[in-house]
C-alpha cells in the first residue's frame, strides 16, 4: 500500500487513542540504542574486514525493528552470513541471536550508566493527551521498554505496553508489519481508524500506514522528514509539543445538577 492508497487522515482531535513508539519518541533512548549498536558492530565489522559501521546504518537497517531483525538486516547489507541461533544463545556466540543478545547487554550497561528522561515536549504532549481523555499505549520493538519507561518515571501512565517480549510471546510480527499496533488498538476495543500511531522510525510509520491507522505522526529525530513521509507519515514534527493545540479540549468539570423542585 502506498500513501496515495490511504483515505484522508483523521484529525488528531477526532482520535480516541494514541499509540506511541518509545525510543526516539517519548525518550531519547534511541541515543542509548545507537551507542549500544555501535559498541557491538564497530569492532565486529572491523574484524570481518567489511565497510565500517556508521550512524546511517542504524537508520537504514536497524531503527524500529526487533533486535534480531536489525542484526540480520545489517549483516545482510555487509554480505555476512550467520546462523539464526535461538534467543537463549550466549552473547559470545557467533549467531544472529548471540549478537542480538550481546547488543542487549551493551544497552543495559549504557542505560544503567547514563539513565534516561522523557523528552520535555513529548511529556507535555502525553500529559495533555491524557487530560483530554485519550487512551495511550506504548508499542515498542524493544524488550527493554518497561525498564526504560520505569527509569524515565512514566511507566504508570500507560495501561497498555506492547514490547518485544509481548510480541515474541504472542507471535506478533515486528514493524513494518502493523501487528503490534493493531494488538494495542484491540486492547482498547478500538479500530485502527480510531487510533493515531506516533513514530520516529521509517519502519514504524510504515507499520502505521500498513495497518490503515487513522493518522500516522512522524517525529523527526534523524530519519529525515522526507523519508518519514515517503514511508507513511501524514504529519511530521520535530517536537510533539507542536501538536498540543490539535488535541481535543480537556473535559471540563460536570455541570452542577439542577436543584430538585420540592413537591407539596
Which candidate, 97, 131, 129, 104, places its Cα nearest to that of 215? Answer: 129
Q: What share of the chain is helix, strand, coil (3-state, %, to 5)?
A: 50, 10, 40
* Active site amino acids: 21, 23
* CA 165/CA 180 separation, integer angstroms: 11
Q: What is the pLDDT of residues 199-228, one digit of tens each?
A: 999 999 999 999 999 999 999 998 899 999
Q: Cell numbers 522528514 correspond to what residue?
A: 225
Which of 6-10, 119-123, 130-134 bottoms out in mean pLDDT, i.e. has the lowest?
6-10
8 — pLDDT class (breaks 50, 70, 90): low
- How would residue 252 be classed by pLDDT, with cut points 50, 70 and 90? low
Specify the pLDDT at position 30: 76
Q: Are 201 and 181 in contact (CB under 8 A)?
A: no
- Prediction pTM value: 0.76
- Give pLDDT tens digits for 67-117: 999 999 999 999 999 999 999 999 999 999 999 999 999 988 888 888 899
Given a cut of 80, whether residue 34 has pLDDT beyond it is yes
Max Cα separation, the chain?
A: 97
Q: Name the band, by pLDDT with cuts 50, 70 and 90, for residue 7.
A: low
Cβ 55 vs Cβ 34: under 8 Å: yes
Residues β-bridged to residue 235: 217
Distance CA 124, CA 127 (A): 5
Rounded mean pLDDT, 14-25: 96
Q: Which residue has the higher pLDDT, 246 or 65?
A: 246
The secondary structure of 92-119 as a DSSP string is TSSSHHHHHHHHHHHHHHHHHHH-----
Amino acid at each position: 500500500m502506498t500513501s496515495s492508497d490511504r483515505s484522508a487522515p483523521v484529525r488528531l482531535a477526532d482520535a480516541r487513542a494514541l499509540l506511541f513508539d518509545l525510543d526516539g519518541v517519548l525518550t531519547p533512548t534511541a541515543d542509548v540504542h545507537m551507542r549500544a549498536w555501535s559498541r557491538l558492530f564497530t569492532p565486529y565489522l572491523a574484524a570481518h574486514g567489511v565497510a565500517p559501521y556508521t550512524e546511517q546504518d542504524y537508520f537504514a537497517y536497524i531503527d524500529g525493528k526487533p533486535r534480531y531483525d536489525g542484526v540480520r538486516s545489517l549483516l545482510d547489507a555487509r554480505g555476512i552470513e550467520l546462523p539464526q541461533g535461538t534467543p537463549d544463545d550466549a552473547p559470545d556466540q557467533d549467531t544472529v541471536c548471540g549478537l542480538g543478545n550481546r547488543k542487549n547487554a551493551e544497552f543495559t550497561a549504557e542505560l544503567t550508566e547514563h539513565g534516561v528522561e522523557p523528552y520535555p515536549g513529548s511529556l507535555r504532549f502525553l500529559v495533555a493527551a491524557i487530560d483530554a481523555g485519550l487512551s495511550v499505549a506504548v508499542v515498542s520493538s524493544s524488550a527493554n521498554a518497561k525498564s526504560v519507561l520505569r527509569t524515565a518515571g512514566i511507566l504508570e501512565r500507560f495501561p497498555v505496553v506492547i514490547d518485544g517480549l509481548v510480541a515474541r510471546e504472542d507471535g506478533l510480527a515486528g514493524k513494518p508489519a502493523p501487528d503490534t499496533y493493531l494488538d494495542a488498538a484491540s486492547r482498547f476495543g478500538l479500530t485502527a481508524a480510531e487510533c493515531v500511531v506516533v513514530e520516529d522510525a521509517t519502519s514504524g510509520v510504515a507499520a502505521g500506514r500498513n495497518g490503515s491507522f487513522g493518522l500516522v505522526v512522524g517525529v523527526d529525530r534523524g530519519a529525515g522528514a522526507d523519508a518519514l513521509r515517503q514511508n507513511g507519515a501524514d504529519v511530521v514534527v520535530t517536537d510533539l509539543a507542536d501538536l498540543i493545540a490539535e488535541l481535543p479540549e480537556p473535559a471540563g468539570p460536570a455541570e452542577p445538577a439542577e436543584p430538585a423542585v420540592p413537591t407539596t
